[in-house]
């Protein structure tokens, strides 16, 4: 599983990454987490508002920071 956190590196982007790591750990899932900060790359996913979460190439969340419990549904 490849997970991408899209965003500029702001506080919300970091929080999304933390919550994602926590959810993965609680579920026992081994995944690769990549940070995408280049706006051209972010826009290639159709995302105009960050942070966003992409799981295996599909945008699951954009423009907000879901809790780790909510993220479990997407993983």
Percentage of the residues of the chain whose pLDDT score is greater than 70: 100
Q: How many domains does the chain have?
A: 1
2, 1, 22: which is closest to 65 by C-alpha?
A: 22
Given this model, what pLDDT does residue 71 score?
95
**Mean pLDDT (whole number) for 55-63:** 96
pLDDT at 61: 96
pLDDT at residue 5, rounded to an integer? 97
- Can 10 be counted among the known catalytic residues? yes
Which one from 10, 29, 43, 48 is the annotated catalytic residue? 10
pLDDT band at 4 (very low <50, low <70, confident <90, very high): very high
pLDDT of residue 30: 94
Write down the catalytic residue from 5, 13, 16, 53: 13
Domain around 59? 2-74
Q: pLDDT of 44-54, one tens digit each? A: 999 999 999 99
């Amino acid at each position: 599983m490849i997970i991408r956190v899209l965003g500029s590196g702001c506080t919300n982007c970091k929080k999304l990454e933390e919550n994602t790591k926590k959810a993965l750990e609680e579920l026992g899932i081994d995944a690769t987490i990549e940070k995408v900060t280049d706006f051209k790359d972010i826009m290639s996913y159709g995302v105009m508002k960050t942070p966003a979460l992409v799981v295996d190439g599909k945008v699951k969340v954009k423009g907000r920071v879901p809790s780790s419990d909510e993220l479990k549904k997407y993983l």
